[in-house]
Amino acid sequence: MAHDRTEAKRLYIEEGLKVQEIARRLDINEKTIYRWRDEEKWDEEKEEIANTSTNAVKQTFLAAISSLTQITEKFKTEKIISSADVQNARMLIKSAKELQKDVDMLGNILIAQREWTQFMQERDPELLTKMLPYLMGFKDEMKKKYGKR
């Protein structure tokens, strides 16, 4: 039953399946899946995963744009840009690029994991069942490493 719960959560969060489809695929009562979803707050986790990295990149880019806008306005009025302004803008742009790389990396990891899971489901579902807890642990580690800044 623990495997079913883990797989249901994965299908809900990673693949975006509806409870009805998960229930059908796993042959589990919909009410059970709704209960698991509510107990473990799957919707919150799904939203957090979607928002955390994206928001970090967005906020960094917005800060870079704001800084560049201030530098531009300062240049228009004073006809001079300080080295501190330039350094600040460079640092923000560099941070945004690094965050984007992490977001891309996490996205690629999650896509590869989903593809591999589907591949194994077709070829050796029994082995996949045994490996699923490790896959979920790996995904959690990658989220810690690349997903939150």
| pLDDT mean by block of 10 residues, the chain; 149 residues | 83 86 94 94 80 66 75 80 78 75 74 81 85 84 70
> Cα(142)–Cα(102) distance, rounded to whole angstroms?
10
Residue-level pLDDT at 56? 66
Specify the pTM. 0.43
Q: How far is CA 139 from CA 29, 47, 56, 74, in A?
A: 27, 16, 19, 46
**pLDDT confidence of residue 149:** 44
Distance, CA of 127 to CA of 123 (rounded, Å)? 9
Please give the Cα distance from 82 to 74 (Å, whole number): 10
* Domain assignments of the chain as residue spans, ordered by start: 1-40, 41-147
> What is the pLDDT, as a whole number, of residue 91?
81
Neighbour-count burial of 99, counting CB atoms closer than 10 A to its CB (0-12 exposed, 13-18 middle, 19+ buried)? buried
Q: Give me the sign of the Cα torsion angle 55, 61, 65, 70.
A: positive
